[in-house]
Amino acid sequence: MSSLSGKVQTVLGLVEPSKLGRTLTHEHLTMTFDFCYCPPPPSHEATSKEPIMMKNLFWIQKNPYSHKENLWLNQETEAIKEELLYFKAKGGGALVENTTTGISRDVQTLKWLAEETGVHIISGAGFYVDATHSSETKAMSVEQLTDVLINEILHGADGTSIKCGVIGEIGCSWPLTESERKVLQATAQAQAQLGCPVIIHPGRNPSAPFQITRILQEAGIDISKTVMSHLDR
C-alpha cells in the first residue's frame, strides 16, 4: 500500500492532495432510496405512481417517501453534470461521493462525471444500513466483509476496475444490528491495513456515535481518520 500513501484515490486515479482544491466531503451524485418507500393510503396510490409534475408536487413534498420516482436519484446525470460544472466554475475542485452498496453506487457514472467536468470524485467503499443488506452480505463473516472492502479500494468496485478512495459512508441503524456490527468491525480491519479515511452514518440516537466509536476502536481502527457524519440531525 506504499504506492497509495499520501495520495488521494479518485475514480480516475491517484491525485496529489494539493491538487484537490475546495472539496465537498459528503455528497450523493447518483443513488436510489427504494428501501425507504412507504406505501401511501389506497386513495393516494395512483398519485404515488405518477411522474413528478407540478400538479402533484405539493403532495410529493408532504409524502416524499411515498412517491416511487422521488426515490430514484439516479435519473438526472446531465443535470448533475451541470451542477458540477457550476461548482467547478465557482472554485470547487473535488468531492467525496458517499453512496455505497445498498443504495445503488454507480462508479461508472461517477467516472463519466469526473471526465466530463474535471472535478475530482472520490467514491466510497462499503455498505449502507442493514435494511439494504442483501442476504449474501448478512451471511458474510467479518473476514469476508473485510476482503470486499479492501478489494473495492485496491482493485475496483462493482465488477469494474474503478477504485474507491474512502470507506463509507458505512450505514448504521438504531439499535445497531448484528450485520451492521460485522460491517463496522470489517471497516476497522480494512482501514488498519489500508490507512484510508472512513466515513460513518450513525443511527438516530445520541448514544449511537459513542457505541460505533467503541466498536471501531476495539477492532483496531485509527480513529483519527474517521468522520462521524450527521451529528446535527
- How many other C-beta atoms are found inside a 10 Å radius of the C-beta of residue 209? 17
To the nearest whole number, what is the mean pLDDT of the chain? 97
pLDDT at 233 over 90: no
Residues pairing with 123 in the sheet: 97
Cα–Cα dist 47/59, whole Å: 8
Task: Report the CATH fold assignment for 8-31+76-228.
Answer: TIM Barrel (3.20.20)
DSSP H helices, 98-207, are: 107-117, 135-139, 142-154, 178-194
Phi, psi of 81 (to 5 degrees): -60, -45
Name the residue ranges covered by the structural domains of the chain. Answer: 8-31+76-228, 40-73
d(CA 168, CA 99): 8
Question: Quick one: 126 exposed, middle or buried, by C-beta within 10 A (0-12, 13-18, 19+)?
Answer: buried
| pLDDT tens digits, one per residue of 1-40 | 667 889 999 999 999 999 999 999 999 999 999 999 999 9
Q: Quick check: bond before 175 cis, omega within 30?
A: yes
First to last CA, the chain: 36
Secondary structure tally for the chain: helices H, strands E: 8, 10
Q: Is 189 exposed, middle or buried (0-12, 13-18, 19+ CB in 10 A)?
A: buried
The pTM (predicted TM-score) of the whole model is 0.95
- Asked whether the beta carbons of 167 and 191 are under 8 A apart, the reply is yes
- Tens digit of each residue's pLDDT (9 = 90 or more) over 33-72: 999 999 999 999 999 999 999 999 999 999 999 999 999 9
Could you tell me how far CA 209 lies from the centroid of its own chain?
18
